[in-house]
């Protein structure tokens, strides 16, 4: 039989073991990074962020989730099914308002801001053979506008309304991800695609190397009709093979969003590591060149997470 001293030592060991086990459970942090389709810009940047967080946040286990992007990401964040996600600014605004037609079941009140990052350019690209050179030329033609109620499709609706067009004016509307849209154009089964992404998006680069394209302008006058958060910008000549001139279009800011269930410390680390590793993000995709801490609060559509707020105060970017 065990003597009293041995029993006390054994009991103490059990308590210590349980205590240590609970500490390790608390230390293990899961960070799910919500991105977009694998052929877009969100995905490679999300992969890079996941690696940065996995190495930089002690005890963190990270995962990258490919999604339908903005709208799905925001709904998942509201449900606590992700810790950080990419989204277009207009989608965030509609989420906060609970815009049901945009794909939100009600007001998403748990969303919190991490940072404004880079602008998405609305890029309308058609095969040269389609004869589409202007927005008006889209009438009677086939166009892919992104997944239904995605951030890209919300952009398409805004552009169409400003240009006095309706989906009914098209010969056919497809609701497809970037890569699938490009494959249909290559196979002469689709005339054009509207893609909302950073400049140099892989899907359009792939298309431009496969056949002659026309990059269709969104005139400044139309962009001004839409108003905030849309801006009139230029797709510089040479962005894609065969694009010989600058092209006017619209841009909408992208944001990294989290939710109020994420701890202040984790949100702080996610914000700090984002800006401490811009070189790694730029290596993942050139769109990250536009990420600037001095512009990180511009147009933020939701309240900042307290952890992110702490970072900006430390850097003197917020009083």
Range in 15-24, 222-231, 264-273 the model is least confident about: 15-24
**pLDDT at res. 42:** 95
Domain 28-118+253-314 matching CATH 3.40.190.10: the answer reads yes
**pLDDT at res. 224:** 93
Per the CB < 8 A criterion, the answer to whether 81 and 216 are in contact is no
Instruction: Give the C-alpha separation, 51 to 131, whole Å.
Output: 44
| pLDDT, tens digit (0-9, with 9 covering 90-100), for 180-211 | 999 999 999 999 999 998 888 999 999 999 99
Q: Where are the domains of the chain?
A: 28-118+253-314, 120-251
* pTM confidence score: 0.78
Tell me what the mean pLDDT of segment 206-223 comes to.
Answer: 97
| pLDDT, tens digit (0-9, with 9 covering 90-100), for 250-281 | 999 999 999 999 999 999 999 999 999 999 99
Percentage of the residues of the chain whose pLDDT score is greater than 90? 82
Query: Three-state DSSP class for 119?
Result: strand
**pLDDT at res. 137:** 98
- Residue 215: pLDDT band by 50, 70, 90 thresholds? very high
At 51, which helix (H) or strand (E)?
Answer: helix 42-56
**pLDDT at res. 299:** 86
Per the CB < 8 A criterion, the answer to whether 217 and 232 are in contact is no
Per the CB < 8 A criterion, the answer to whether 88 and 254 are in contact is yes
- Give the closest residue to 215 by CA, choosing from 198, 232, 195, 230: 195
The single residue listed with the structure tokens 């147009």 is 299
**pLDDT at res. 98:** 97
Q: Is the peptide bond before 234 cis (omega within 30 degrees of 0)?
A: no
Within this chain, domains 28-118+253-314 and 120-251 share the same CATH topology: yes
Look at the domain 120-251 and name its fold. Answer: D-Maltodextrin-Binding Protein; domain 2 (3.40.190)
**pLDDT at res. 143:** 98
């Amino acid at each position: 039989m065990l003597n009293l001293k041995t029993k006390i030592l054994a009991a103490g060991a059990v308590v210590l073991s349980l205590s240590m086990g609970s500490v390790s459970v608390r230390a293990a942090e899961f960070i799910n990074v919500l991105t977009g389709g694998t052929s877009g810009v969100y995905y490679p940047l999300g992969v890079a962020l996941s690696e940065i967080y996995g190495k930089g946040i002690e005890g963190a286990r990270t995962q990258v989730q490919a999604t339908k992007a903005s709208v799905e990401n925001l709904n998942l964040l509201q449900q606590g099914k992700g810790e950080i996600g990419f989204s277009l600014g207009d989608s965030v605004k509609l989420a906060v308002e609970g815009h049901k037609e945009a794909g939100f079941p009600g007001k998403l009140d748990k969303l919190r801001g991490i940072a404004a990052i880079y602008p998405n350019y609305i890029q309308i690209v058609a095969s040269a053979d389609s004869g589409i050179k202007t927005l008006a030329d889209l009438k009677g033609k086939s166009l892919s506008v992104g997944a239904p109620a995605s951030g890209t499709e919300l952009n398409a609706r805004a552009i169409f309304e400003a240009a006095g067009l309706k989906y009914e004016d098209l010969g056919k509307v497809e609701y497809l991800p970037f890569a699938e849209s490009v494959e249909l154009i290559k196979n002469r089964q689709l005339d054009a695609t509207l893609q909302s992404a950073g400049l140099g998006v892989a899907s359009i680069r792939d298309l431009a190397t496969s056949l002659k394209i026309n990059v269709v302008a969104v005139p400044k006058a139309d962009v001004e009709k839409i108003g905030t958060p849309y801006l009139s910008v230029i797709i510089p000549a040479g962005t894609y093979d065969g694009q010989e001139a600058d092209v006017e279009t619209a841009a909408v800011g992208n944001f990294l969003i989290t939710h109020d269930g994420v701890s202040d410390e984790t949100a702080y680390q996610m914000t700090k590591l984002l800006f401490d590793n811009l070189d790694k993000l730029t290596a993942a995709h050139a769109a990250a060149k536009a990420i600037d801490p001095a512009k990180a609060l511009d147009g933020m559509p939701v309240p900042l997470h307290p952890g992110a707020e702490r970072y900006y105060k430390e850097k003197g970017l917020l009083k």
